[in-house]
Amino acid sequence: MSADTPTPLAGITVSEFTHMVMGPTVGHILAGLGAEVIRVEPLGGDRTRRLMGSGAGYFPMYNRGKRSICLDLKSAKGQAVARDLCLNADVLVENFRPGALDRLGLSYAALAADHPRLIYCSEKGFLPGPYEDRTALDEVAQMMGGLAYMTGPPGRPLRAGSSVVDVTGGMFGVIGILAALEERHRTGRGQKVVASLFETTAYLVGQHMAQFAVTGKAAAPMPARISAWAIYDVFETRDEPVFVGVVSDSLWEKFCALFGLDDLWADEAIRTNNARVLARDRILPRVRALLQTMTRAEIIARLEGTGLPFAPIGRPEDLFDDPHLAGGGLEEVTLDDGTVTRLPTIPLELDGKRPGQPVSLPRPGADGAEILADLGYDADEIASLIGSGTVETG
């Protein structure tokens, strides 16, 4: 961490037993806020490192800023090292199937008996209930929890375009850890924190549940929804599409003035938002026809600085060159093959400063010997663990 990087969690040590996205997200956020995160990987490294296709970005995105040790957790010696790591940590993070760490002697009860200050964060598919032993993935939760139903057109459920439930579930895990750390300041004791995919999805679609409770009508999938505003959509232009929203009566007046729609503003029957929603069928064709005569750049130039919501339709790869993110929204990352790229840093500002710094991905087991020395193992013990294949160094 550089001197200018916020490190509110400096001095907090985290032992991380995770894979895929949800668990690693917890560790990535904690590391970005200054915690020392030790990533425990199996011999040969976490298989997430070698995923292809849509999984190729999982490891570099969510494992920056961590240290790595590769352990044979099937051996008694490897389990003993893992226990030492946990007993010397402030926080443990895991997201394996229920009972996986328990079978290794690393349950919360077993560790808390000797380390009552430990905060133990489990990232699971479900909180306790009838489903808790099911295997869950981000996509499973999106399908079960109604998010895929709301995203796709009617009759065609479609998962969101990123691992939104994994990442948000990881964020809830971080919130729970931070709350537990604050309580530990008062009580001196840690606790177990559990976050889950299914309940996270329920929270995300809670607005649609509330809509049903308020109106008595089920929320329609987003492609078929009736918007709360008359103009709140993607519009075709002469070249590239653009999103425009008019979300208040004062903005309606401004929008009409900006685009020469004086006759629409003069129509007092549609001066209020709900009246405009009911008149969408005559307002929208007029607006669509007008915006189709302009380029996206012309529309943005007219809307910039007006307070009206608008957005060009971006793609993820466009963000590498986004001028706004250039001010601290991306941090340099050196990939396993030596390629230097930039990836999003934690979207926070603390005391006027952004987290983030140049980082390299941890090579599998690269920090193993140093981590063992930090735990108090002497040179002969370290050599024995490495020689026996219990610990693998990068």
Residues paired with residue 393 on neighbouring β-strands, in sequence order: none
Give the position of tokens 């064709």. 285
Q: Would you say residue 73 lies in a domain?
A: yes
Predicted local distance difference test score (pLDDT) of residue 211: 95
Same domain, 149 and 276: no
Q: Would you say residue 221 lies in a domain?
A: no
Q: Would you say residue 219 lies in a domain?
A: no
Predicted local distance difference test score (pLDDT) of residue 1: 52
**Residue ending a domain, choose from 314, 347, 376:** 314
Same domain, 19 and 61: yes
| Long-range contacts at 258-265 (CB < 8 A, ≥ 24 apart) | 258/302, 258/303, 258/306, 258/308, 259/287, 259/290, 259/302, 261/286, 261/287, 261/290
Same domain, 353 and 304: no
Same domain, 334 and 271: no
Overall domain count for the chain? 2
**Residue ending a domain, choose from 257, 279, 314:** 314
Q: Would you say residue 76 lies in a domain?
A: yes
Same domain, 119 and 247: no
Same domain, 308 and 173: no
pTM above 0.85, yes or no: yes
What is the span of the domain harbouring residue 53?
13-204+328-392
For residue 199, what is the domain's CATH number? Answer: 3.40.50.10540
Q: Would you say residue 168 lies in a domain?
A: yes
Same domain, 20 and 132: yes
Q: Would you say residue 66 lies in a domain?
A: yes
Same domain, 164 and 235: no
Same domain, 302 and 334: no
Q: Which helix (H) or strand (E) holds 208?
A: helix 206-215
φ, ψ at 51 (rounded to 5°): -65, 150
**With a cut of 70, which residues of the chain have pLDDT below it?**
1-3
Predicted local distance difference test score (pLDDT) of residue 5: 87
10 Å Cβ neighbour count for 304? 9
For residue 289, what is the domain's CATH number? Answer: 3.30.1540.10
Residue 224 token pair:
């078929």
Q: Would you say residue 3 lies in a domain?
A: no
Same domain, 151 and 98: yes
Same domain, 128 and 158: yes
Q: Could you give the CA distance from residue 20 to residue 41 in angstroms, rounded to a whole number?
A: 12
Q: Would you say residue 188 lies in a domain?
A: yes
Radius of gyration of the chain (CA): 25
Same domain, 233 and 377: no
**Residue ending a domain, choose from 314, 342, 366:** 314
